[in-house]
Amino acid sequence: MGFPKIDFRVCETRHCPLYRFGDVVQISGIAISMDNSDEHTFINTTVIHSPANRGHCKVLNGDLTRIIIEYERADQIPDCILSCSGCTGSIRIEHHRTTSTDGGANGANNRIGSMYHILREIPFFRNIDENNFSKVIKHFKLREYDKNDIILRKGDPGGYFFIIISGQVDILNDAALPISTLQRGEVFGEMSLICDENVGATVQARESCQLLSIDHKHFNSLLKKYPTLHMFFTRLLARRLTDSNKIRSDDYASGMIGKLEEIPPEALLQTLNVNSKTGILTITQLTKGTARFSFRQGSLIKASYGGIKGESAFYEVLKEKKGRFKFTPGLPPEDFEIPEIGYFMKLLMEGLQRMDERIVQRSP
């Protein structure tokens, strides 16, 4: 004799050392026969089952045991959300009678429904009003991926928009190396749907993760019905462009090779200054040969170009439009004692002013 297993699903984690979002803790009971000379009775014994490969949490087990004692039997526990008393971290768990161990599409839909309070915190869903939230959610499907699973592959037709519910995913470059990581609440796959193009980058699960997905047809319907989503994606694109430009700027300043056609001399030199870089910048294929600049923690200490040195060399290079550059981190020991040529921003402003005056003089 006994009672069915009751599921408690982790719906929120804060630095919990054991559990992750989506983990299920089960409670089951067994009726044990107690026979002695005076009477024959049955005692219900409760067993708490931790998620596979997660270990047992004495704090959570104690919290659940107190709840079971309060309700006498585990199968009498009502729908609820509970918080553990915490150790180094904490979790919240939810129990819904309709979302225990159902399989297939119905089970997945029930699980999505049980995530209501979590989904409302995700930026994308804040653009959906309360009255229409349940109508929107029904078009999404819950998908689970294991670590290293490929979710999207570059060049494939764009078919789905994804929202990360738990875990992390990596965006890979053509060399299959991660260039950025997305986590809970972030989205991907939208550009191929909005622009009606193939997938622009491969996306791989960094760890086990849960994602919500919606197909192309329903995604477009949402965009038409909720104009506020246009602003969401506009801001998303602007933020990603800003992050991309910052990464590009950091790459230029940390030893990358590039062209002046991609970043003009004044922007390149200012990047090294602002990022307090130490090393030697070499620019070749200029009209007067090769230029070299030495930076110490962002300060310009050496400059040479076309047989001239110092400030004059700096001003001359600002005029160049084409060339190839390479920044090499590090300086020889003797260069650490050399005084800077001058305050960098003053040099830059003077150089740009000279260029403006030159343009004015040439104009008819």
Residue 213 lies in a domain: yes
Domain CATH for 232: 2.60.120.10
Cα–Cα dist 144/22, whole Å: 10
Helix 216-225 vs helix 228-252: crossing angle, to nearest 10: 110
> What pLDDT is attached to residue 31?
43
Residue 51 and residue 116 in one domain = no
Residue 106 lies in a domain: no
Confidence of residue 287 (pLDDT cuts 50, 70, 90): very high
Confidence of residue 187 (pLDDT cuts 50, 70, 90): very high
Residue 163 and residue 200 in one domain = yes
The pLDDT tens digits for 80-112 are 556 777 677 767 676 654 433 344 444 455 556
Confidence of residue 64 (pLDDT cuts 50, 70, 90): confident
Residue 132 and residue 23 in one domain = no
Residue 234 and residue 143 in one domain = yes
Confidence of residue 304 (pLDDT cuts 50, 70, 90): very high
Residue 165 and residue 73 in one domain = no
Residue 251 lies in a domain: no
Domain final residue, candidates 79, 101, 123: 101
SS3 assignment for the chain: CEEEEEEEEEEEEECCCCCCCCCEEEEEEEEEEEECCCCEEEEEEEEEECCCCCCCCHHHHHHHHHHHHHHCCHHHCCCEEEECCCCCCEEEEEECCCCCCCCHHHHHHHHHHCCHHHHCCCHHHHHCCHHHHHHHHCCCEEEEECCCCEEECCCCECCEEEEEEECCEEEECCCCCEEEEECCCCEECHHHHHCCCECCCEEEECCCEEEEEEEHHHHHHHHHHCCHHHHHHHHHHHHHHHHHHHHHHHHHCCCCEEECCCCCHHHHHHHHHHCCCCEEEEEEEECCEEEEEEEECCEEEEEEECCEECHHHHHHHCCCCCCEEEEEECCCHHHHHCCCCCCHHHHHHHHHHHHHHHHHHHCC
Residue 225 and residue 301 in one domain = no
> What pLDDT is attached to residue 32?
43
Residue 207 lies in a domain: yes
Residue 226 and residue 120 in one domain = yes
Residue 215 and residue 319 in one domain = no
Residue 88 and residue 154 in one domain = no
Q: Domain of 334? A: 257-362
Residue 215 and residue 310 in one domain = no
Domain final residue, candidates 191, 225, 246: 246
Residue 145 lies in a domain: yes
Domain tally for the chain? 3
Domain final residue, candidates 101, 129, 147: 101
Residue 232 and residue 122 in one domain = yes
Residue 252 lies in a domain: no
